[in-house]
Structure formats: structure tokens, C-alpha cells
Amino acid sequence: MSKPVRTRIAPSPTGDPHVGTAYIGLVNMVHARQNGGTFVFRLDDTDRTRYRADSEENLFRSLRWLGLDWDEGPDKGGDFGPYRQSERTAIYVEHVNRLLESGHAYRCFCTPEEIDAHRAELRAQKLTPRAPRTWRDADSATVEAALAEGKPHVVRLKVPLEEDITVQDLLRGPITINSKELQDQVLLKADGFPTYHMASVVDDALFEITHIVRAEEWISSAPIHKLLFDALGYEIPVLCHMPLLRNADKSKISKRKNPTSLLHYKEAGFLPEGLLNFLGLLGWGGPKTETGNQEIFSLDEMIEHFRLDRVSLGSPVFDQAKLRHVNAEHLRSLSPEDFVARARDYMFEQTRMLALAPLLAPRVETLGEVCERADFVFGEIHHYTAETRKHKDKNLRVPLPGLCPAGVEPLDAHFALKELREALDPLSEWTPEVLEGVCREQATPLFLGWKAKDLFMAIRVAIAGKPETPPLFETMALLGKSRTLGRIDAAARALAEPGKKAIKRWEKSKVERAKLRAAETVPTE
């Protein structure tokens, strides 16, 4: 008798919820539902240096908005919990000790400097860079002495030195990688937390996951995971590596070229069923009909017709025009009553309107002026002039006045907005006071060298599409983090699309300016 199907997603709460997480989550949920199985939500929060509480909250909020519904998880419980990996540390340590005792793992006391030097030496020899295996076969007395001294260390997997490792993939068949291409992966970090590899394998085994459906970027990790499953005596689940979402130029989808945050699409007014339909089309052509594939379908129809083993391995393109078309079809299918309700809930959401009221009331004389004054709050904006924004040739589109200060090259203005975005992105407190502090710091000579008024105008035009708004930082707070950052990204793309050389020059500039800032903060006698 076959085991009941159990699938999972294990997102990391380290940034905005990604459309890729929704894409993989949708496939996992659909496969579980059509097989009468269980869909599990597990939180991969072991990277405590990058963990963000607001990111965790946004993950739950955005995935629920989209319509993904898990059966077990941190918020629902279940028989296999806890479902936060940070609460399972003792379980991982116990499994690491099993591997140490069986000889499948070892303690490594190499310093970061020793590891860097060894990797540099291997690169010079045009070999695969890896950490040194100095401690791989150290005797117990040497290890005990190092432990007694309190030397920091990690625990590494003892990977076979030269052996073909084969894993079976549902879509790709057998995948073989020789172990000489692998390094002895860290299983337990010096801070006592497990790495992704260790926690993922242990949890997939203990949660009785039957199908690991994940992005193809994890293919290179599959041999390591197989070694761990085998060493721990667990059966490896069915592996299915989904094709990565791509930009139109076939590069991996990234926020530099496409909005990747689920919050962006929610706040831009897309319907959850429209976005789900679009994600379902990626890698799968839709339900088959006599005249071809059905392009517009519901979640229930996807559950009925989708088959995991029929996913195409072609690179699915996250095409914004296609997404808008699919979403429009779902909008047009709404009844007039439902359309009005959806529009009202989106445009005049109570919390947003209460925050907007004190900013707008002093600036209008009639209610008829509300939408005109706050149009950038209620809908999308464009970062090109009205006369040029519909040109098919992007080179003929002219960015809005104010995005690029007089005397500044558009490429430099692009990077200035990108650097501003990088400074804003880590903020967990999105208040006018905090935003003003960060933005003013970006206008200092050691950052952009712009006057504050020029930077603030560029931000204003980027987030509102016009030079006049309610107070800037209150407006940023009102729009929220996701919408603000998404609009800054879009404005930067409107200014320029830099090549690799330009990006490297700007990265070098950032490093040099960081050194200057550090030197300024060093106390002198």
C-alpha cells in the first residue's frame, strides 16, 4: 500500500514573500489535494541573522490572500510539530550526534581565514573551491583537546571522496553527480543552529513527506541530501525539481527586472484568482480541451486536471503582460455586484483611508478632489511621460521630470535609487521618523553626494508619479513598505537598464564609500 501523499513548503522569513514561493506552494498544494493528501507549511527560520518578524507575518498574510491553504503549520499545529525549525534545534543536534557516532560527520575547527586561504589556493589551481578537510580524519584525542580549549567549530558531512551519486527526479529521470564536485557540507553551524541541508532532510523524514517539490536551483544539493537520508537510515522522498521562473531574457527572475514580492501584486490590485491562474500556467499549459489548452481556469479546475509528471521543463517566463491579460479575464468574469465590492475593498480599504484622511483633509476643498489628490494611493502609477510611455522601443520612453536631478546622469540616478532601496529594505519599522532619518543619510556626501531636496524630489516622483504630494515621509509610510520599494524599483528601471560593467563599477564605488564612512567613525586621540 502506498503512503498517503504529504507535500510541503518551507519558506524563509528573511524578506518580502516571493512569487517563487507562491509558485512552488501552489504546485505542492494542488498535488496534495488531488491525491487526498496533506499540505504542510514549515518555517525555515534557522538563519537568525537574517530572520525578520515582519517577513514571517507577511508570508502568512500574502499566501492566505492568494488562496493557498495548508493543513499543518505554525499557525495550525498538527501531529508532527513544532513547525518552526528554530524550535526543533534539539532534534537536529540529536541527529548530528548520530552522524558523528556513525562516522558520517566530523567536527571542523578550521578558522574562516584558513578556509578562505585554502579556497583561494584551489581557485589558483583552477579546481573546485572548498573548505580544507584538515579535521576530516583527526583522531579523537586531537578533537577532544580542541573542544576542551573551547575552539569554535562546525560539524561537516563526510562526503565520499570520489563516487558517483545518483538521485531520481520525477521530471528529469536519474541525475548523477560525482562527489569530487562536492564539499563536506556544514550540517551544524558554530552558533548551534543547523544548516538548511541538515534541517530540511531531518524534517522531511520526520514529517513523513512523500514528495519534495522545489525549484531546480536545489538540484545541486540533491546528492548531499541523498547522502544524509542514507546515512540517517531514512527513505528519500520522491524528488521533483520545478523549472525556475525567468525574466523575458531567460535570466532568473529578480526584483531588478520584475516585481517579485507577492505584496506588490496584492497592493497593485491584482485578483488572487488571477495571479493563481497565471502561476498555474507557468510550467503547465492548463487543462487540455479539444481545441487546445484552456488558458483561464479556477483553482478547482487546476486541482482536477493538473498532473505533476506533466510539468514542462522549458523555462517559464514571468510575463507581466500575460499576467495582466489573465487577471483582466478574471475581472471581466465578475458580476457587477462582485466587481463593485472588490473595487471598493481595494481602493477604499478602511485602514488605508483612516491613515490618508489627516494627510488629505487639509489639502482639499471638496470630496471631488480626493481621488485627484490621492490618485497614486488608489491605483498604479507610471514613470514615463504620458507622451512616451507607450512606445514599444523603451529607448524612446522619457522618464518623468524630477526622477533625475539636473546635472546628474540617468545611470547615476538609477543607482542612487537602487542604493536608497537597499538602505530602506532592511527596515522593520516603517514610520515617517525612521524613513526620514534613512533618506537624509542617503543625501550626505559619503552616500550619493546629492542635495537632500533633489533626492527627496526623486523619491516623491518615484512613489507618486508627480512632484506634489502630502508630506513625503508620511506618504511613504501610508503606501507601505512593499508598494514604496516596488515603485522605487520601477522608477530605477525607467531611468536606466545598466549592464554588468556598470553594475560592477557602482558596487566598487559603494565599497570605497563604505571604507571612507568607516574611517570617519574611527575615534582619534
Q: What is the CATH number of the domain that holds 313?
A: 1.10.1160.10
- Whether 418 is catalytic is no
Total Cβ atoms within 10 A of residue 250: 9
pLDDT of residue 217 exceeding 60, the answer is yes
- Residue 52 maps to a domain: no
- Is residue 230 domain-shared with residue 93, that is, in the same domain? yes
CA distances (Å), origin 334, targets 249, 330, 355, 408, 476: 34, 7, 29, 47, 32
Q: From the CA atom positions of the chain, what is the Rg in Å?
A: 26
- Is residue 328 domain-shared with residue 389, that is, in the same domain? no
H-run or E-run covering 2:
none
pLDDT band at 448 (very low <50, low <70, confident <90, very high): low
- Residue 232 maps to a domain: yes
Q: What is the pLDDT of residue 417?
A: 94
- Is residue 421 domain-shared with residue 489, that is, in the same domain? yes
- Residue 34 maps to a domain: no
- By percentage, how much of the chain surpasses pLDDT 70? 97
- Is residue 182 domain-shared with residue 94, that is, in the same domain? yes
Q: What is the pLDDT of residue 407?
A: 86
- Residue 63 maps to a domain: no
* CATH code (residue 485): 1.10.10.350
Q: What is the pLDDT of residue 446?
A: 58
- Residue 105 maps to a domain: yes
Residue 59 burial class via C-beta count within 10 angstroms: exposed 0-12, middle 13-18, buried 19 and up: buried
> If we measure between CA atoms, which residue out of 243, 239, 203, 199 comes closest to residue 223?
239
- Is residue 446 domain-shared with residue 512, that is, in the same domain? yes
- Residue 43 maps to a domain: no
- Please write the tens of the pLDDT for every residue from 53-79: 888 999 999 999 999 999 999 999 999
pLDDT band at 128 (very low <50, low <70, confident <90, very high): confident
- Is residue 284 domain-shared with residue 418, that is, in the same domain? no
- Is residue 222 domain-shared with residue 270, that is, in the same domain? no
H-run or E-run covering 62:
helix 53-66
C-alpha cell at 61: 498574510
Domain C-terminal end among 180, 208, 242: 242
- Please write the tens of the pLDDT for every residue from 296-337: 999 999 999 999 999 999 889 999 999 999 999 999 999 999
- Residue 148 maps to a domain: yes
- Please write the tens of the pLDDT for every residue from 118-127: 999 999 998 8
Dihedral angle sign, alpha carbons of residues 323, 328, 333, 335: positive
| Arithmetic mean of pLDDT, 155-178 | 96
Taking the C-alpha atoms of residue 421 and residue 414, their distance in angstroms, rounded to an integer, is 11
Please give the residue range of the domain that contains residue 369. Answer: 348-379
Q: What is the pLDDT of residue 255?
A: 67
- Is residue 299 domain-shared with residue 416, that is, in the same domain? no
Given the residues 151, 255, 322, 510, the one annotated as active site: 255
The pTM of the whole model exceeds 0.75 = yes
Q: What is the DSSP string of 380-414?
A: ---SB-TTTTT-SSGGG--BPTTSS-TT--HHHHH
pLDDT of residue 178 exceeding 90, the answer is yes
Q: What is the pLDDT of residue 451?
A: 85
- Is residue 275 domain-shared with residue 232, that is, in the same domain? no
Mean model confidence pLDDT for the chain: 92
**What total of structural domains would you count in the chain?**
4
- Residue 31 maps to a domain: no
- Is residue 232 domain-shared with residue 304, that is, in the same domain? no
- Is residue 271 domain-shared with residue 220, that is, in the same domain? no
Q: What is the pLDDT of residue 379?
A: 83
Taking the C-alpha atoms of residue 414 and residue 186, their distance in angstroms, rounded to an integer, is 39
Domain C-terminal end among 318, 340, 362: 340
Domain C-terminal end among 340, 368, 400: 340
* CATH code (residue 232): 3.40.50.620
- Is residue 169 domain-shared with residue 197, that is, in the same domain? yes
